[in-house]
């Protein structure tokens, strides 16, 4: 009997995740070691120095297993947002919790409503658990989430509805009032998941968290320390939901899921609000700068409240990615339009200069 015949349904059906171009690959292709990585929505400012210090201090305890319930970080999150520690779940990145949520709720034949485009893991996790994705395409002129159409897509078989706010890969936000009304309308047999991975970058007051709705609805809020906190390599994500839901998530998350240095780094970064504000201000300024530069080239820039921009450069996405890679700059070129991370001031100036050069060559 072949091994393939023994493998479960999800392994056969799960699409391979497409990663961005690596720094090493770009170094080889461009012939330069000075690579500017703007393809993975990383925080170009890096983590708080206090987080780095916490990692170093925790490293001497590497021979000890981590706290299995991550109590220290849970308490900080609970205190900041006004919840109990039982309403918080922590895992090895928010994508890990996405998988847990699907394992808990999605049974064969259940429907899962997702937008398109959005983060691919929502759909992939549904398929892995023999669920049926119900895809609501977003209008290409705005890429705004059509909550009315998503609501119309809900049926008696719907189990989950995923909303990424602001959305990835477009960066387009969802109005807070409209999203709240949408969540309140959903029937009781539906669980809404709002992925707020990028919401800390938002400076538009109409973009707001759905945390106040958690206790009264079947609602899960996802957050991560990979983005604004600059701890992508540490892999720390968390969810907040009412106790009944969080108990299921906590009981399903892998034991010892988050290493001690990662937890200590997250705690230190979470406390360093001054550094966080510096990053937020820097990204907001860089976002405005790059939008002006790209629009001056005649490119269309979709409104973003994240640390990246979705840009119609009037050429195939992969082509722009290849031409920038030749200049030592990595962007994400496997979406309908290029997704470009906002960097530091120096990063953004270098990127803008490279794009001007490409646009000039097109004339």
pTM assigned to the model: 0.93
CA 247 – CA 229 distance, rounded (Å): 26
Give the mean model confidence (pLDDT) for residues 99-125: 95
Which residue shows structure tokens 């669980």? 191
pLDDT of 99 higher than 70: yes
pLDDT tens figures, 19-63:
665 566 655 565 566 889 999 999 999 999 999 999 999 999 999
pLDDT tens figures, 135-154:
999 999 999 999 999 999 99
pLDDT at 361: 85
For 334-358, b/e burial (b = at least 16 CB within 10 A) is: ebebbbbbbbeeebbebbbebbeeb
CB atoms within 10 A of CB 154: 18
Q: What is the CA radius of gyration of the chain?
A: 21
Give the mean model confidence (pLDDT) for residues 93-105: 95
pLDDT at 254: 85
pLDDT of 157 higher than 90: yes
- Are 92 and 237 spatial neighbours (Cβ–Cβ below 8 Å)? yes
pLDDT at 32: 63
Structural domains present in the chain = 3-34+274-362 (3.90.1150.10), 50-272 (3.40.640.10)
pLDDT at 21: 57
Which residue shows structure tokens 């890096």? 46
CA 164 to each of CA 108, 223, 312: distance values in angstroms, whole numbers, following the listed order: 24, 11, 21
Average pLDDT for the chain? 93
pLDDT band at residue 13 under the 50/70/90 scheme: low
Helix boundaries (H) for the chain:
9-13, 23-30, 49-59, 71-81, 94-105, 120-128, 147-152, 176-185, 243-252, 260-271, 273-296, 317-325, 345-362
* Nearest Cα residue to 43 out of 353, 344, 354: 344
pLDDT at 255: 85
pLDDT at 35: 85
pLDDT at 103: 95
Give the mean model confidence (pLDDT) for residues 230-256: 95
pLDDT at 26: 58
SS3 131: coil
pLDDT of 127 higher than 70: yes
**Chain centre to alpha carbon of residue 139:** 21
pLDDT tens figures, 308-345:
999 999 999 999 999 999 999 999 999 999 999 999 99
pLDDT at 363: 67
CA 40 – CA 19 distance, rounded (Å): 9
* Nearest Cα residue to 192 out of 227, 169, 164: 164
CB atoms within 10 A of CB 7: 10
Give the mean model confidence (pLDDT) for residues 295-313: 97
CB atoms within 10 A of CB 248: 17
């Amino acid at each position: 009997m072949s091994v393939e015949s023994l493998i479960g349904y999800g392994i056969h059906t799960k699409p391979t995740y497409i990663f961005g171009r690596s720094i090493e690959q770009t170094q080889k292709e461009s012939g330069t070691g000075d690579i500017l990585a703007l393809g993975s929505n990383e925080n170009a400012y890096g983590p708080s120095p206090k987080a780095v210090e916490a990692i170093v201090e925790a490293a001497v305890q590497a021979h000890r297993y981590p706290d299995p319930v991550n109590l220290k970080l849970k308490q900080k999150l609970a205190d900041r947002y006004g919840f109990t520690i039982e309403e918080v779940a922590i895992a090895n990145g928010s994508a890990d919790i996405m998988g847990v949520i699907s394992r808990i709720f999605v049974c064969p034949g259940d429907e899962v409503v997702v937008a398109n485009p959005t983060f691919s893991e929502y759909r992939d996790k549904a398929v892995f658990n023999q669920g049926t994705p119900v895809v609501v395409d977003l209008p290409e002129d705005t890429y705004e989430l059509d909550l009315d159409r998503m609501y119309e897509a809900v049926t008696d078989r719907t189990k989950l509805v995923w909303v990424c706010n602001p959305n990835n890969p477009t960066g387009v936000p969802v109005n807070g009032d409209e999203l709240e009304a949408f969540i309140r309308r959903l029937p009781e047999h539906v669980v809404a998941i709002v992925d707020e991975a990028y919401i800390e970058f938002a400076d538009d007051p109409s973009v707001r968290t759905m945390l106040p709705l958690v206790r009264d609805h079947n609602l899960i809020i996802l957050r991560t320390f990979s983005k604004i906190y600059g701890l992508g390599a540490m892999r720390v994500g968390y969810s907040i939901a009412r106790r009944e839901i969080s108990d299921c998530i906590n009981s399903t998350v892998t034991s010892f899921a988050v290493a001690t240095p990662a937890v200590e780094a997250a705690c230190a970064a979470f406390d360093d609000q001054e550094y966080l504000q510096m990053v937020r201000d820097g990204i907001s300024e860089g976002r405005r700068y790059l939008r002006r530069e790209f629009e001056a080239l005649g490119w269309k820039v979709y409104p973003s409240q994240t640390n990246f921009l979705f840009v119609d450069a009037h050429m195939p996405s992969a082509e722009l990615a290849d031409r920038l890679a030749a200049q030592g700059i990595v962007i994400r070129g496997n979406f309908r339009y290029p997704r470009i991370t906002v960097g530091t001031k120096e990063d953004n100036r270098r990127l803008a200069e490279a794009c001007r050069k490409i646009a000039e060559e097109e004339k």
